[in-house]
């Protein structure tokens, strides 16, 4: 495309949007590459490894769909509360074939968060495991189920074979359209109240196909990762991307740096995806120099700011190219991506150009006018990839998507004359820690439930490893509670990563004229080093 003077990049229509569904792309792959290995699922223990060919994967997914239809009707919402597994993947594919809407739930969540998602999504079914990394998922399910009369069916992945036995062997599968909803994935806005992005088949399948094509994934390649399936990076970019390129998809139940290196070596992975935190941990792992990673050609990363030093460190390995991706759940998820043929500067210092069939503009947040190139503004996007809506949240949908179909991302960015974008910050208050979206308002609401706390504010502060860490500023009525007690208070109600690392006790907050806490002042003062704080990772004070 020609250089532009304003920060607007029209959709590149040279590559078509296909009228595909989750089921149709799986059927196409099974027909084209029936005997090729489709999935390699590693378990938790040494030597736990299961594989499926594309033909076998389709058969198993269809059996899953029939078992689902014995319990649920097309269009109903079914939630999944578990780490990565072959069963999770089969549930995703089976739900797509059955015309169900899958509601993905972070297995680190606790009862409070689970209750909210099941209630707000109107889920009628739930699949879960007994526990994950010390989190007693079955306990939380038992705790919330009596308050959820709409939740008809609760099934354990540990009983998967029994669930499949309920499938009718010859039951017809419904017709599923590309525009039909396929998933609800929870994200959040400025209020911190989680919102369910309602995503459709066409958006997820095409976005994954474009991504996989741009990283050069093709027949015979092996795509390895430990990205969680409850994120679009795992269940869309990885699962649906590999299927459409007839590649082998190899994955771990959850991230472990040493096991990821082992996976890449033993499966002869050609492509790998991880958030920056994962890649830093892999680079610093003592096993990295003894692992044979020579098959690796491409490493992709996003979900948090990608440091130029990380790009250079990855690309210092012979034959490896680093790809930066940028997006958000509401965009299925990718909006921009660097290319294999980009210059080192473009791959190191930008988030790339818009992916095919995606339009991007940078606007003045106040006026809505498109800004000149190289000017900071809010990044907006339009195209097939934009979510249908926030489920049952018309007010939030209207605030996020305008009458012309433009999705406001809430991210500040610049665009150069060639369409390459750079992130400059965020309008939203959301904190991205190690690729996980954390919502300060949710954490603040839990903090003020503590009897000793009268007010609280949570912000994200820069961190070399995690991208950002949480810092909690609190005002107490009497003697400050111990940091261990405060973190235990948060962890008993929310997922572990939502417990702040840094703690600052204040006598008063900077306030607006209407009495609201000025978080930008807290950020500025933190950056100037004005606060005395306690680092929960070391339990030492600093500042």
Contact indicator for 121, 77 with CB cutoff of 8 Å: yes
Q: What is the pLDDT of residue 512?
A: 62
Kind of pairing between the strands at 248-251 and 37-42: parallel
Quick one: pLDDT at residue 166?
86
Contact 536, 501 (CB under 8 A): yes
Distant-in-sequence contacts of 473-476, Cβ < 8 A, 24+ apart: 473/504, 473/506, 473/509, 473/522, 474/447, 474/503, 474/504, 474/505, 474/506, 475/505, 475/506, 475/507, 475/508, 475/509, 476/452, 476/505
Burial 355-374 (b: 16+ CB within 10 A, else e): bbbbbbbbbeeeeeebbebe
- What lies within 8 Å, CB to CB, of 282 at 6+ separation is 257, 260, 261, 274, 288
3: which 2 tokens? Answer: 């250089």
User: Given this model, what pLDDT does residue 190 score?
Assistant: 35
Q: For all residues of the chain together, what is the average pLDDT?
A: 93
- Say how far residue 17 (Cα) sits from the centre of its chain: 23
Among candidate residues 201, 191, 225, the one with its CA nearest the CA of residue 74: 201
Please, are residues 494 and 443 in contact by the beta-carbon 8 Å criterion? yes
Q: pTM for the whole thing?
A: 0.85
pLDDT given at position 191:
42
- pLDDT score of 513: 53
In this structure, the number of other CB atoms found within 10 A of the CB of residue 35 comes to: 10
DSSP letters of 496-515? Answer: GGGS-SEEEE-S---B-TTS
User: For residues 275 and 249, what is the distance between their CA atoms, to the nearest angstrom?
Assistant: 18
Q: What is the pLDDT of residue 394?
A: 97
Lookup: tokens for 272: 């790998």
C-alpha 167, offset from chain centre: 31
341: helix, strand or coil: coil
Which residue ranges in the chain fall short of pLDDT 70?
188-192, 304, 426, 428, 512-516, 540-543
Do residues 502 and 533 touch, judged by C-beta distance below 8 A?
yes
User: For residues 352 and 336, is the Cβ–Cβ distance under 8 A?
Assistant: yes
Which residue segments constitute the domains of the chain, with CATH numbers given? 8-169+178-415 (3.40.50.12780), 431-542 (3.30.300.30)
Tokens 């390699």 -> residue:
40
């Amino acid at each position: 495309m020609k250089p532009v003077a304003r920060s607007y990049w029209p959709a590149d229509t040279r590559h078509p949007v296909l009228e595909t569904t989750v089921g149709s792309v799986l059927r196409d792959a099974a027909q084209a590459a029936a005997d090729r290995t489709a999935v390699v699922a590693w378990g938790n223990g040494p030597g736990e490894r299961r594989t499926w060919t594309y033909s076998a994967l389709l058969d198993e997914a269809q059996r899953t769909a029939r078992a689902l239809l014995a319990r649920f009707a097309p269009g109903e919402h079914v939630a999944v509360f578990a780490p990565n597994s072959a069963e999770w993947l089969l549930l995703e594919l089976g739900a797509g074939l059955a015309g169900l809407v899958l509601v993905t739930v972070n297995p680190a969540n606790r009862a409070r968060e689970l209750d909210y998602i099941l209630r707000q999504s109107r889920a009628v079914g739930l699949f879960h495991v007994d526990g994950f990394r010390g989190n007693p998922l079955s306990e939380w399910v038992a705790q919330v189920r009596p308050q959820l009369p709409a939740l008809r069916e609760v099934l354990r992945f540990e009983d998967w074979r029994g669930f499949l036995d309920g499938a009718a062997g010859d039951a017809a599968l419904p017709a599923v359209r590309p525009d039909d909803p396929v998933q609800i994935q929870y994200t959040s806005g400025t209020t911190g109240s989680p919102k369910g992005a309602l995503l459709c088949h066409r958006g997820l399948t095409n976005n994954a196909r474009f991504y996989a094509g741009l990283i050069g994934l093709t027949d015979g390649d092996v795509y390895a990762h430990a990205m969680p399936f409850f994120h679009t990076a795992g269940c869309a970019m990885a699962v649906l991307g590999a299927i459409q390129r007839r590649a082998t998809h190899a994955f771990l139940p959850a991230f472990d740096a040493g096991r990821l290196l082992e996976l890449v070596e033993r499966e002869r992975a050609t492509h790998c995806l991880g958030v920056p935190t994962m890649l830093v941990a892999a680079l610093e792992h003592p096993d990295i120099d003894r692992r044979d990673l020579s098959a690796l050609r491409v490493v992709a990363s996003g979900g948090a700011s990608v440091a130029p030093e990380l790009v250079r460190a990855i690309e210092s390995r012979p034959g490896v190219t680093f790809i930066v991706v940028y997006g958000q759940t509401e965009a299925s998820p990718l909006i921009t991506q660097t290319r294999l043929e980009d210059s080192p500067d473009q791959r190191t210092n930008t988030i790339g150009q818009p992916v095919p069939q995606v339009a991007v503009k940078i606007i003045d947040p106040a006026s809505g006018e498109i800004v000149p190139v190289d000017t900071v503004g809010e990044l907006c996007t339009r195209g097939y990839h934009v979510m249908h809506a926030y489920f049952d949240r018309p007010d939030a949908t209207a605030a996020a998507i305008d009458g012309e179909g433009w999705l406001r991302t809430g991210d500040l960015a610049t665009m150069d004359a060639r369409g390459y974008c750079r992130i400059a910050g965020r309008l939203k208050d959301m904190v991205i820690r190690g690729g996980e979206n954390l919502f300060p308002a949710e954490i603040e609401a839990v903090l003020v439930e503590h009897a000793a706390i009268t007010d609280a504010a949570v912000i994200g502060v820069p961190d070399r490893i995690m991208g950002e860490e949480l810092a909690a500023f609190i005002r107490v009525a009497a003697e400050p509670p111990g940091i261990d007690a405060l973190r235990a208070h948060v962890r008993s109600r929310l997922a572990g990563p939502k417990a702040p690392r840094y703690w600052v006790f204040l006598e008063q907050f900077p306030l607006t004229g209407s009495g609201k806490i000025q978080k930008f002042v807290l950020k500025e003062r933190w950056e100037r080093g004005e606060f005395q704080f306690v680092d929960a990772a070391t339990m030492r004070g600093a500042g």
